[in-house]
A and B are shown apart, each in its own frame.
Chain A
């Protein structure tokens, strides 16, 4: 389990996950949430805590299978919660990143936010080295 105060030099990624949270809202309400969301993000950028993020369109494709043989429409494969956008945070602890995520205006409408530490190096690479060491140790 991760220590909540662990220092991370690479920041955090917020992944905004949602179903169609806005379906039951009126245009005015949606507009209001979007404006609140925009000013929340602009404020974080002005404070140097976030880099400009991106919204993702709800369409797309998923590539899978050996050599990418399978191309299916949409990101909807098995997951119900589609990633609707992301934001990169330049903060040092996951506690700070969580505190920022908790102030997201869209949470009131049933969205959820993944808070993920950006890795300094590929976790698979680290894992490969560890496995190699373990193997060496076992054969010694």
Chain B
């Protein structure tokens, strides 16, 4: 999974430059989809809420104009992290400060897998 971090890309770009970046981005996604390398992807609105803790407190972002906030994601169907990283390096947002987090999708909950492994180890 590729997580695109940074929602402040538009700062300092002209409308034409911004349009070019988004066109390139969409063309990139279209190509990856046609090659069967991307199976899903979506931009996220620059808004939302955070629910946290025992008390289920609801708070605001910030999701707009942030370096950290996630602006969208691609779900890739590739076999190695190297392949995923190579694709991430093609991201048209990189020259404008976007960072791409590359994360392996887990076959099962990694925490469950860890405790099962530990349990097996303890039995040996």
Chain A contacts to B: CB under 8 angstroms:
2, 10, 13, 15, 22, 27, 30-31, 34, 37-38, 54-68, 71, 75, 77-79, 83, 85-86, 94, 98, 101-102, 104, 107-108, 110-119, 121-125, 127-129, 131-132, 135
Contact = CB atoms under 8 A, between A and B. Distances in A.
11 contacts: A15-B70, A55-B106, A68-B94, A83-B70, A83-B101, A102-B56, A113-B51, A118-B45, A124-B10, A129-B15, A132-B19
Interface string B63-80: 100011011110100000
Interface of B: 1, 3, 5, 7, 9-10, 14-16, 18-19, 21-22, 25-26, 42-54, 56, 58, 63, 67-68, 70-73, 75, 81, 85, 88-91, 94-95, 98-106, 108-112, 115, 118-119
A113 B58 CA distance: 10
A31 B102 contact: no
Given A30-B111, A31-B112, A107-B56, A116 B45 contact: yes
A97 to B, nearest CB: 8
B104 to A, nearest CB: 4
A102 B53 CA distance: 9
Given A58-B110, A68-B90, A68-B91, A113 B101 contact: no
A113 B67 CA distance: 19
4 nearest A-B pairs in the assembled complex, by CB-CB distance: A68-B89, A112-B52, A131-B15, A116-B48
A121 B41 CA distance: 12
A12 to B, nearest CB: 8
A102 B72 CA distance: 23
Contacts of B81: 60-61
A98 B70 contact: no
Contacts of A54: 1, 75, 105-106
Given A57-B110, A117-B48, A118-B45, A110 B53 contact: yes
A98 B109 contact: no
Contacts of B26: 122, 125
A15 B72 CA distance: 11
A57 B118 CA distance: 17
Nearest to A112: B52
B105 A55 contact: yes
